[in-house]
Amino acid sequence: MRAEQTPLKDCFIIHDTIFKDERGYFFESFNRSKFLAQTGLDVNFVQDNQSKSEFGVLRGLHFQKDEFAQAKLVRVLQGKVLDVAVDIRKNSPTYGQSFSLELSDTSATQLFIPRGFAHGFIVLSETATFFYKCDNYYNKESEGGIAYNDQDLAINWIVESNEIILSEKDKLHPTLKQTEASL
């Protein structure tokens, strides 16, 4: 495992070491002591989540507020997605900035998204199975969202806007500026 700092403070690309032979492959998807040594962050994951979606499905940009904020370690088990993290920590030097990365079942990479970030992804393959670890339990009353097409964020989702599939809830998210007072 090797951690690479992204342009966003405390957000890391995790490069996995894969061992392959005639039987297939093996890799350690998470090791707490190695993660701490590589990132300086001591994270205790308590919940795993998984979703399967079709091409064009965009899930996000979601976050949990206050004491229910969640750090996430995300990866793709099958298919390919564009994964996006947005720093919404008001006192952060990278507040309001986003980072995106293509993740796939062949990329041997994961993305660590710290607490205080909004997160989303869009499916670029026919289908994708997305998996992520969280360091805090989900709390419905603390959830929030930011519009995926917030012009100030200017995120390039790669997929044409007429092909993007959103949940009814995700269609209603405000911009980051409209959300600032509640952060």
Q: How far is CA 169 from CA 39, 61, 110, 173, 174, in A?
A: 34, 11, 27, 7, 11
Question: What is the full DSSP assignment across 107-158?
Answer: S-EEEEE-TTEEEEEEE-SSEEEEEEEESS---GGGEEE--TT-TTT----S
Q: Is the dihedral of CA 78, 102, 114, 153 positive or negative?
A: negative
Euclidean distance between CA atoms 157 and 100, whole angstroms: 9
Task: Please tell me which residue in 119, 132, 148, 173 is annotated as part of the active site.
Answer: 132
95 catalytically annotated: no
Euclidean distance between CA atoms 129 and 65, whole angstroms: 26
Euclidean distance between CA atoms 82 and 89, whole angstroms: 22
132 catalytically annotated: yes
Residues 6+ apart with CB under 8 A from 39: 3, 10, 12, 112
Task: Please tell me which residue in 62, 119, 148, 173 is annotated as part of the active site.
Answer: 62
Q: State phi, psi for 118 to the nearest 5 degrees.
A: -90, 150
Residues with a catalytic annotation lie at: 62, 132
